[in-house]
Amino acid sequence: MPSRSARAFRSLLLVCGALPLAACSSDPEVRGETAEAYFARFESAMLAADVMQIDHSLIASDEEGSARAVWEGRFRAIDKPLEVRLDGRGSFGAQPIHLEIEARGEAIQAKGGPKPFEQKLAGNSIERWVRGFTRIGLAHDLWRVARGLPLLALEGGDQEIEVVDLRFDGRERIGGVPARVLAYRAQIGDLYEADMRLWIDERTGHPLQRRATVRTRLFRLRTTESYRVVELAVITPGLADQPLPKNLEQDAR
């Protein structure tokens, strides 16, 4: 694991992936920007990151409001070579649960559901994970593991994520933080669709919260995901291999 000083130096070499949003401080609607353009800039900022680490929490319930899942976890994705880890620890129904997904290239291992499983996702890339996060959140992958189902490719054919009916839905505060709210409908082929509300920090462009009503042929589910971006960065080519500055050569104690 990198030392604290190495991580500090690395942070000096990183460019915040949310800058395209954060740099535009005025109201996008006043500027005449559409919700589609705003979401595209948000997603592009996420996709630009070579390193992404996000803490998250989830509350899910059925239509009657009975809690079906509660967990907290972390999502970490590194590009080139692809390394992804996504976990959630809490309860599923009345049972404690610890869900884990690890991906290295096309190889994926998952455990915590009815039984551990391994699968291959041809062409698996950081784009699959980031677009999955920006468009439908983190719960969908963990939820499939909890039910013993393989993960979806989330791209191409009947697994393509489609975002429709995007619109601005006002401004609200999440934990005291001013946020722009986007509302839309997300669809994955004919597998399921969800009505989404996504809160984006007006200052940083980071996602703060997502609420979804998910509909499948068999059930409806309401979910609330909360996010805290720990790291979201682009590594400038070549700089990551340079020696540490002298003031950062020693480990912080």
Model pLDDT, residue 135:
97
Residue 59 pairs in a beta bridge with 70, 224
- Reported confidence tier of residue 127, pLDDT bands at 50, 70, 90: very high
Instruction: Note the pLDDT tens digit of each residue in 57-115.
Output: 999 998 766 668 999 999 999 998 999 999 999 998 888 999 999 999 999 999 999 99
Residue partners of 85: CB distance under 8 A and separation at least 6: 74, 75, 76, 100, 101, 102, 103
Calculate the average pLDDT of the chain. Answer: 84
CB 161 within 8 A of CB 135: yes
Give the dihedral of Cα atoms 141, 145, 149, 150; nearest 10 deg: 60
CB 88 within 8 A of CB 225: no
What value does the mean pLDDT take over residues 197-201? 97
Model pLDDT, residue 131:
95
Angle at 189 between CA 183 and CA 192, to 5 degrees: 60
CB 10 within 8 A of CB 2: yes
Domain residues of the chain, as ranges? 4-237
pLDDT greater than 90 at residue 48 = yes
Q: Which residues of 148-181 are buried (b: 16+ CB within 10 A; e: fewer)?
A: eeebbbbbeeeeebebeebebeeeeebeeeebbb
Report yes or no on whether pTM surpasses 0.85: no
Q: CA 72, CA 50: separation in Å to the nearest integer? A: 24
Instruction: Note the pLDDT tens digit of each residue in 131-180.
Output: 999 999 999 999 999 989 999 999 877 889 999 999 999 999 999 999 99
Bond from prior residue into 81 cis (ω within 30 degrees of 0): yes
- Reported confidence tier of residue 5, pLDDT bands at 50, 70, 90: very low
Q: Which CATH superfamily is domain 4-237 in?
A: Lipoprotein localisation LolA/LolB/LppX (2.50.20.10)
Instruction: Note the pLDDT tens digit of each residue in 222-250.
Output: 999 999 999 998 887 765 555 545 544 34
Max CA-CA distance within the chain?
61
The packing angle between helices 139-146 and 126-136, to 10°, is 100
